[in-house]
Chains A and B, each alone.
Chain A
């Protein structure tokens, strides 16, 4: 495989860049694979990559209904963090942070991981205590966290509202300095390119139409491009989880919801942190291009439409202006929607299932992007070894039966309340 580097970039400039290799090929599906990953999103691509890299399993196909990276990996607000309270979430995410830090070099693709830090703002002493609980848990888990008072927050983000004309004044905030952002498309493409180079078949425009089971075991998958024999299938389809579960006669603790995000027109650098509002649900960062990338609440009803409605955005942007009044004069440039697989405790599922050879990766709610490397790594382990790794042991499917819930927000099963 051609190496991406400044030297090769210069070299190729003299041939007008026409000699670059394909980033990934476009193969026709084979009759049989060792493992089929359904879903060519970030998690599916990462899983295939780690199957090849960590477990030497390369007879793998990724089956994608549309085009790779077209789902939530290309529709998120690119935030990467491990500021979780529950140990299972925190240790899993922090493992992921290590993978993020070396991802560009590992994939030889600049994913632009930028540890600019995230601040969760608090607007009362009670909320400061809630964040202290989270931050102390992080610290005891070996994750960086700093509790900032009002003055310290003001030093870092002076453009937030520190005036008197404010409904919920800023009391302080919890900062994870090592958190940040990355270039979302590059993550999908970088994983795809490496997986492809190690022999993984990336098959786009290929829809799963059914599954072949024999004696309760996976024996194959039927697709719009033919039937494939395979003993192990990894399901990695985020917002389409419920649809494929139906084909497998499974009902899961997951609902499908719509989350919108938007960007402003680009402006010169003004905000170099990721910031979340504490008196509502709003988060913001500024992309390298200069756009303010903003998101917040779910639209609030089951949906497969990648189109949202304005009241939700209005509500989200209201909180945006409450937090940073200067946003008022910026213009909203683009809005889009993503389809979330909302689990019933807000945490994901990476597990085996009652069907032998069927592995499940779903329930990422808002948090799928940051989890991409750790999800791929642990899911690959679970598939290759046919057992969960200790990092994803907490993400079991039967925790809803046993009561070992991982509810970071304490909202319970009403996933539409965000």
Chain B
């Protein structure tokens, strides 16, 4: 069971969270003219690589905040966690 440090609540077990997918995917701005390709890249296409993966988790049974987690997809090691509004870089 993963142990995830919620930036708001501290270390919590995985079963308090739900997963939210790739955090590097950015929703295009509303009313923005956008190509089919770019829209499909947002809705469907994912890199989903092995290694470091920046992803979203929702602290569902906790503070209900969406957080960002940098995790290794092959070892499940978590490098760091961030609040939703913190910079990814």
The answer to A–B direct touch (Cβ < 8 A) is yes
Q: Which B residues touch A89, using CB under 8 A?
A: none
Interface size class of A (residues with CB under 8 A): 20 to 34
Tell me whether A251 and B41 are in contact in the complex, defined as CB-CB below 8 angstroms, given that A242-B49, A311-B14 are known contacts. Answer: yes
User: What CA separation (Å) do A300 and B21 show in the bound complex?
Assistant: 9
Task: Determine which of B15, B44, B50, B53 lies in contact with A413 in the assembled complex, contact meaning CB atoms within 8 Å.
Answer: B44
Q: Total contacts A to B, CB within 8 angstroms?
A: 68
Q: How would residues 294 to 307 of chain A score, 1 for a CB under 8 Å from any chain B CB and 0 otherwise?
A: 00000011111100
Question: Is the beta-carbon distance between B1 and A311 smaller than 8 angstroms?
Answer: yes
- Tell me whether A416 and B45 are in contact (CB under 8 A): no
Residue contact B1 to A251, C-beta cutoff 8 Å: no
Residues in B whose Cβ lies below 8 Å from that of A311: 1, 14-15
| Least CB separation from B71: chain A residue | A301
Residues of A within 8 A of B74 (CB): 303-305
Name A257's closest neighbour in chain B (CB-CB): B48
B34-77 toward A: CB 8 Å interface, digit per residue (1/0)? 00100011011111111001010000000000000001011110
B residues in contact with A251, CB < 8 Å: 41, 45-47
From known contacts A309-B2, A416-B21, infer whether A256 and B15 are also in contact, taking CB-CB under 8 Å: no
- Is A243's CB under 8 angstroms from B46's CB? no
Q: Does A310 lie within 8 Å of B1, measured CB to CB?
A: yes
* List of A residues within 8 angstroms of B76 by Cβ: 303, 305
B47→A242 contact, CB < 8 A: yes
Taking a contact as CB atoms under 8 Å apart, the answer to whether A309 and B45 are in contact is no
With the chains together, A309 CA to B22 CA distance in Å?
20
Collect the chain A residues with CB atoms within 8 Å of residue B21's CB: 255, 302, 414, 416
Q: Does B79 contact A (CB under 8 A)?
A: no
A413 vs B25: C-alpha distance when bound (angstroms): 13
Chain B contact residues (Cβ within 8 angstroms of A): what range? Answer: 20 to 34
Q: Mark A280-291, 1 if CB is under 8 A from B, else 0.
A: 000000000000
Residues on A with beta carbons closer than 8 Å to the beta carbon of B2? 301, 309
| A401 in contact with B40 (CB, 8 Å) | yes
Chain A contacts for B48, CB-based, 8 A: 242, 254-256, 302
Indicate which residue in B36, B43, B50 contacts A304 across the interface (CB closer than 8 Å). B50
B41 touches A303 (CB 8 A): no
Query: Pick the contact of B44 from A243, A301, A344 — CB < 8 Å?
Result: A344
Q: Nearest Cβ distance between residue B39 and chain A, in whole angstroms?
A: 9
Question: Closest A-chain residue to B74, C-beta based?
Answer: A304
C-alpha spacing A252/B44, complex, angstroms: 8
Interchain CB contact under 8 A, B46 and A254:
yes
Separation of A311 and B61 alpha carbons in the complex (Å):
15
A252 B45 Cβ-Cβ under 8 A: yes
Report whether B55 and A302 are in contact in the complex, using a CB–CB cutoff of 8 Å.
yes
Per-residue B-contact encoding for A41-78, CB less than 8 Å = 1, 0 else: 00000000000000000000000000000000000000
Determine if A265 is an interface residue (Cβ-Cβ < 8 Å).
Answer: no
Q: Determine the chain B residues whose CB is within 8 A of the CB of A266 once the complex forms.
A: none
Q: A301-B19, A303-B73, A304-B74 are in contact. Are A246 and B46 (CB under 8 A)?
A: no
Tell me the smallest distance from the CB of A235 to a CB of chain B, in Å: 15
The answer to whether A253 and B55 touch across the interface, beta carbons within 8 angstroms, is no
- Do the beta carbons of A242 and B46 come within 8 Å of each other? yes
Would you call B46 and A300 a contact (CB within 8 A)? Answer: no
Give the chain A neighbours of B18 by CB distance below 8 A.
300
Q: How far is the CA of A309 from the CA of B3 in the complex (A)?
A: 11
Q: How far is the CA of A8 from the CA of B41 in the complex (A)?
A: 56
List residues of chain A with CB within 8 A of the CB of B75.
Answer: 305
Residue A336 is within 8 A (CB to CB) of chain B in the complex? no
Contact status A305-B73, CB under 8 Å: yes
Q: Which residues of A contact B73 (CB under 8 A)?
A: 256, 302-305
Find chain A residues with CB under 8 A from B19 CB.
300-301, 416
B-facing residues in A392-406 (Cβ within 8 Å): 400-401
B62 to chain A, nearest CB (A): 16
Pairs across A and B, CB under 8 Å, 21 listed: A242-B49, A243-B49, A243-B50, A252-B45, A253-B44, A255-B21, A256-B73, A300-B18, A300-B19, A302-B53, A303-B76, A304-B73, A305-B75, A309-B2, A310-B1, A311-B14, A311-B15, A344-B43, A400-B43, A400-B44, A401-B36
Chain A contact residues, CB within 8 Å of chain B: 242-243, 246, 251-256, 300-305, 309-311, 344, 400-401, 413-414, 416
Q: What residues of chain B have their CB less than 8 Å away from a CB belonging to chain A?
A: 1-2, 14-15, 18-19, 21-22, 36, 40-41, 43-50, 53, 55, 71, 73-76
A251-B41, A251-B45 provided; 17 other pairs, C-beta below 8 A?
A: A242-B47, A242-B50, A253-B44, A300-B18, A300-B19, A301-B19, A302-B48, A302-B55, A309-B2, A310-B1, A311-B1, A311-B15, A401-B36, A401-B40, A413-B44, A416-B19, A416-B21
Going nearest first, the 4 A-B pairs with the smallest beta carbon separation are A253-B44, A251-B45, A242-B48, A304-B74
